[in-house]
Amino acid sequence: MLAAFARSGDLDSAKQMFDAMPEPGVPAWNSMIAAHFHSGDSIAALRFFQRMMAEGIRPNPRSFVAALDACSRLEEGDFIHELAIAVGLASDAIVGFSLVGFYRRCHRLDLARKLFDEMPGRDVIAWNAMISANAQSGRSDQALELLLLMDLDGVHPNSVTFLSALEACTNLSDASRGSKLHTEGMLGSGIENSRKVSNALINMYGKCRELGRAKAVFDGMSDRDTVSWTTMLASFAENGDLEQASRAFDRIPERQCVAFNSMLAAFVGILDACACCGALTEGRSIHQEAVLRGFQDDVTIGSALVNMYGKCGQVGPGREVFDGMPWRNSITWNAMLTAYAQNGHSAEALELFPVMILDGAEPSEVTFITLLSACAQAGLLQDGLRVFALMERDFGVARGAGNAVCLVDLLGRAGRLEAAEEMFAWVPVEERDTAWTALWGSCKIHGDGGRGVRAAESVLALDPVASTPYSLLTEALVMPHLEIY
């Protein structure tokens, strides 16, 4: 009965029953810990666990699982982990699995992996949890490495395993490994018949620019749902095929329904296709249909409309949509900032940023890349440097590849070529092609070809297969007005 009260969320009744027990057993304590957690009071749940220990009640594995569920901070989980070691339960499979899950929630995959490697009898659920955690945390190579180790461990993957592995391939834009998973891992196993797996394959191939393969998977499906159609539509959109995207949009079976949730992704997908292709007429038509269906107040649709109008050079209509939205998220604000920046309205972008902050939206790296690009294009050096300082000091956004490249461009255009060259230390190798192109453009403007050549030679030393430095070095040789040496 106590467990039933706890599961139903009736904390008061659970407390009364617990307090009436002369000597509550471990299951009763576990139920109370879980009841407090499920009622939203994690602190009370952990206090109950501590009280249990203080009263000399030896916890069982389920006690530690309940306590770990209630932990939200790393130090709390570390303390529970130490207690599990002290009572000899850290090696228990259930406790170990919960500890792995806790460290995963705290984004400490290093600790999760260490525990996972020490776990005895890891089953497919444990392997799936680790593969998924790595794929979702941007550690896609590690996720695929775990898939290989899983096979060596003699554990057979299931559809959940392949969904996480395909996510990793998508993150890496690695069609080769994704295709190998498809042809060698799934075909003939029955897993390829899973609708979720087929949808993930369409998404992976589409993101990897393998549109033909995405279409082949889609055409081979006997049981498509709205996700199948919208994923295929998004693949067409991302590959700039507006005609095929429009055709898919028109063929969606739910198109004639007014069901909001089933069509939301489809509207976003076709609007993104219009944005990619600069198809203003088609975008306006989709906008009108969204209004007729009553979708215009949705933040996702609104953000997609702002983006579409901005990409089509129509900042005014985009701002009208923006101003008419009942509420906006960070994606909406970034879309409006980008629309201003990409259409030469740098001052308006800078004016909008403090309004965004006052509205409570959280700026991201994308926000600052957009603002820095706007400042670079308009030659607003001091404004750009202030934005960069705010980014690190006030919002804790670290220097990344994108904002470092923007800063190279900002400094270079303003004639601060030495400072721009120094920024190359912050630019990852894979982005130096882009940074070099930006710096070369500034060197052309300011007549400093020698600095540009040095930057190109630096890129070539790190990445001999990069094509851009070769072509721009050739250009330097035929432009005698530049000071090369």
Per-residue pLDDT tens digits for 121-178: 888 988 998 999 999 988 999 999 999 999 999 999 999 999 999 999 999 999 999 9
Lowest-confidence region among 77-86, 189-198, 275-284, 379-388:
189-198
The percent of residues above 90 in pLDDT, for the chain, comes to 49
Locate tokens 């190109």: which residue?
Answer: 456
5-14 long-range contacts, CB within 8 A, separation 24+: 5/35, 6/31, 6/32, 6/34, 6/35, 6/38, 7/38, 9/35, 9/38, 9/39, 11/35, 11/36, 11/39
Q: What is the pLDDT of residue 485?
A: 47
Q: Which two tokens stand for residue 386?
A: 């202030």
The more confidently predicted of residues 74 and 448 is: 74
From the list 409, 403, 458, 455, the residue with the least C-alpha distance to 426 is 403
Q: Identity (one letter) of the amino acid at 110?
A: D
Per-residue pLDDT tens digits for 52-103: 999 888 999 999 999 999 998 999 999 999 999 998 988 888 898 899 889 9
Tell me, yes or no, if the pTM score tops 0.85: no
How many Cα atoms occupy the beta-carbon half-sphere of 10 within 13 Å? 11
| Region 261-268 average pLDDT | 81
Q: What is the pLDDT of residue 307?
A: 97
Q: What is the DSSP letter of 20?
A: T
The percent of residues above 70 in pLDDT, for the chain, comes to 89
